Structure 1
Amino acid sequence: MRALVLTGPGRAEIQEVELPSAGPGEVVVDVERVGVCGTDVELFTGNMSYLHTGRSWYPLRPGHEWCGRVTAVGSHVAPAWLGRRVTGDTMLGCGRCERCHTGRHHLCPDLAEIGVSLGRPGALAEQIAVPAAALHDLPDSVDPTLGALAEPGGNALRAVLGTTLNPGERLLILGTGTIGLLVALFARAQGIETHLLGRDQDAVSQARQLGFTDVWTRPTLPPLPWHSIVDASNAAELPTLALDLVEPGRRIVYIGLAGAPSTIDTRDLVLRDITAVGILGGSAGLAGAIAAYADGSVDARPLVSATVTLAETADVLAGHRPAGLGPGPKVHIDPRR
């Protein structure tokens, strides 16, 4: 089958690789759609920290935001999975340690991440093998675009839940990329007053084209009491800004990662009684994200600006935007094309 293989920093090619087989406890999925995210870009460029710590290495097959249809099952897997449309958890814990047994498998010391770490092949291919325990059913109302947005949606939903805001309270989201906009969609669906802070007028314009009205740049940000802040940016200075802006006694949720270390003054954190929450991975939010997509309370499809072929993926990873894009920040791949 065809698969995208990263062979080194800045190098990617379509290769013919062996078809996956369903081992014990696994299924094989025909991949319908795959999302490209910042982690994939960092793996392509060589900037991903895992490449320097030994958790990831070349050659590498990326793709961790995906959906498809089960076409084969291994031993110890219910035959009822055959033919079902699914997506899956990126985070694969060992299943034996204390963290896995207490619902924290995404923090397992032996964690493997599909398409990211420990050599686990990703979904930028015609097929992928996945543990059945990681699967989530996709209802008919969740099309391939939404199915491949389940993983980032799970991250965003966890961030919204981490704010502990009630309907009518005010949220400021720092960053207007895919995660920032998904946080805004899930927050709005819960009746939270949702504001976004963009880097510049282009970022503000893009968010407004996607239906958000309370979108600001730093000079235009109104002096409102922010009941919670989600930092979904990759800017090293914004974690400190979040701490400066949030109301005393409230929460900041950090889900963005900067390329350089960020610092905050913990004296401000303590003396203003602020709770800081970190979000890693969408595992615990996948079911909720799929449910919101299925019932129509969240429609994330406008975030996808284009769906391109497997052969065009390397150009997307290199930062070349396909012609005729819509306003959304996300590009999807159809590996069957």
Structure 2
Amino acid sequence: MRALVLTAPGKAEVREVPVPIAAPGQVIIDVERVGVCGTDVELFTGEMSYLHSGVSSYPLRPGHEWSGTVRSAGAGVGESWIGRRVTGDTMIGCGDCRRCLAGRHHVCPERHELGIRDGLPGALAEQMAFPAAYLHPLPDSVDATAGAMVEPAGNAQRCVDAADLTAGERLLILGTGTIGLLTAMLARAHGLEVHLLGQELGFARSLGFSQSWDAASLPTLSWDAVVDATNAPSMPGLAVSLVEPGRRVVYIGLSGTPSMIDTRDAVLKDVTTVGILGASAGLANAVAAFASGAIDPRPLVAATVGLEEAAAVLSGSRPVGAGPGPKIQINPQIAYG
């Protein structure tokens, strides 16, 4: 079968690789859509910290935002999974350690991260093997495009939950990329007053977020919570300076260089800061939000292309005819040529 393989910094190619075989506890997925994420780009460029700490290495098969259909099941997996449309968790814990047993498998020290850490090839392939225990079924109302948006929406859901606001309170989101916009959509569905701070604001406003600001126009308001969904090293400190005393700042963006926060500001304002790693605890609610129609993530998808165009997308190229949304998806089933 065909799969995208990252071979070195800045180098990727579509290769013929062995068809996966389901180990006990696994299923085989026919992959239908895969979202290209900032993490995938960092793996492609060689900037991803895991490549320097040794938990990830080339050659590497990426892809962790996906949807597909279960083709077959290995030993110990109920046949009822076969033929079901699914997505799945990125974080695959060992299942036995203290963190896993406490429900924190996403920070298991021995975890796999699908398509990111070594040990579990990712979804940018025609098929992949995946542990059945980490599957999430998709209802018929959630199509393949939306299904591959569940993983980023799960992260966004965790941001909204961590902000700990009630309907009518005011949330400021720094960043208008995929995570920032999904956080805004979910927060709006929860009855929050949503504001966005970014640079490219036209698309956010087209989604109904009229209260989208740049740095020069940001109003002086009381921000009941702030979510930093950027990769700018200056933003974590800005978030602390903006949030109301005694409230919360949520960090999900990662900068390429260390970011600085003056802890005196956080202490003197009695601010709670929360870091978000992974979508695990938010996946089920993200599926439910899509299925109910509370939010529709599909306008965020600018284009869908085949595997042969994936390397160009990773290098920053926008497909011809792409829409204004921030997300590009790959359909591995598109035949080349």
Q: Give the TM-score of the pair, scaled to structure 2.
A: 0.98
Return the offset for 1:118.
Answer: 1.8
Q: What letter corresponds to residue 78 of structure 1 in structure 2?
A: G
SS in 2 for 1:145: helix
Deviations 1:145-178 (A, max 9, x none): 1100010000000000000100100000000010
Alpha-carbon distance between aligned partners in 1 of 2:326 and 2:260, rounded to the nearest angstrom = 28
Query: In the TM superposition, what whole-angstrom CA distance separates every residue of 1:194-234 from its partner, at most 9, and x where no partner exists?
Result: 00000x2xx11121123321100011000010000000000
Q: 2:245 aligns with which of 235, 248, 273?
A: 248
Match of 2:230 among 230, 233, 238: 233
Matches within 5 A, 1:86-105: 86-105=86-105
What residue identity is the alignment partner of 1:167? A
CA distance in 2, matches of 1:17, 1:129: 13
Q: Provide the residue aligned with 2:49 in structure 1.
A: 49
Q: Distance in 2 between matches of 1:155 and 1:75?
A: 31
Q: Which residue of 1 aligns with 2:133?
A: 133
Q: Secondary structure in 1 aligned to 2:225? A: strand
- Where 2:201 maps in the other structure, the secondary structure is helix
1:185 aligned partner, one-letter code: M
Contact 1:87/1:137 (<8 A) preserved? yes
Stretches of structure 2 that go unaligned for 5 or more consecutive residues are: none
Q: Which residue identity is paired with 2:59?
A: P
- Deviation at residue 268 of structure 1 after TM alignment: 1.2
Q: Find the aligned partners of 1:215 and 1:320 in 2 and give their Cα distance.
A: 26
- In structure 2, the residue matched to 1:307 is 304
Is this contact kept in 2: 1:7–1:13, CA < 8 A? yes
Q: Does structure 1 residue 15 correspond to structure 2 residue 12?
A: no
What's 2:143 paired with? 143
Equivalent position of 2:280 in the other structure: 283
Partner of 1:123: 123
> How many Å separate the matches in 2 of 1:247 and 1:277?
15
CA distance in 1, matches of 2:238, 2:188: 23
> Does the alignment pair 1:320 with 2:317?
yes
1:45 and 1:241 map into 2 onto residues whose CA distance is 28
The answer as to whether partners of 1:210 and 1:328 remain within 8 angstroms in 2 is no
Q: Is the 8 A contact 2:60 2:118 kept in 1?
A: no
TM-score (norm 1): 0.98
- Per-residue CA deviations over 1:45-85 (Å, capped at 9, x if unaligned) read 01101011111000000000001000100000011000000
Query: Matches of 1:298 and 1:310 in 2, distance apart?
Result: 28
Tell me, in whole angstroms, the C-alpha distance in 1 between the residues paired with 2:118 and 2:312. 25
The CA distance in 2 between the partners of 1:141 and 1:30, in whole Å, is: 19
Quick check: 1:4–1:62 contact (8 Å CA) kept in 2? yes
| Counterpart in the other structure of 2:255 | 258
In structure 2, the residue corresponding to 1:141 is in which secondary structure? Answer: coil
The alignment yields a C-alpha RMSD, in angstroms, of: 0.6
* 1:104-119 superposed matches below 5 A: 104-119=104-119
Separation of aligned partners in 2, 1:230 and 1:209: 21
CA distance in 1, matches of 2:9, 2:22: 31
Give the total of aligned pairs: 334
How far off its partner does 1:327 sit? 1.2
Counterpart Cα distance in 2 of 1:216 and 1:158: 24
Percent identical = 65
Secondary structure at the aligned position of 2:245 is classed as strand
* Structure 2 counterparts to residues 52-201 of structure 1, below 5 A: 52-198=52-198, 200=199
Q: Give me the whole-angstrom Cα distance separating, in 2, the residues matched to 1:323 and 1:167.
A: 41
Give the counterpart letter for 1:243 in structure 2.
V
Distance (whole Å) between structure 1 residues aligned to residue 38 and residue 84 of structure 2: 29
| 2-structure distance, mates of 1:232, 1:311 | 30
Moved over 3 A (4+): none
Q: Shift of residue 20 of structure 1?
A: 0.4
| Residue identity opposite 1:311 in structure 2 | E
Cα shift at 1:119 = 3.1
Tell me the distance in 2 between the aligned counterparts of 1:10 and 1:76. Answer: 40
**Whole-Å Cα distance in 1 between the matches of residues 125 and 313 of structure 2?**
16
Contact 1:60 1:119 in 2 (8 A): no
Q: Describe the SS at the equivalent of 2:182.
A: helix
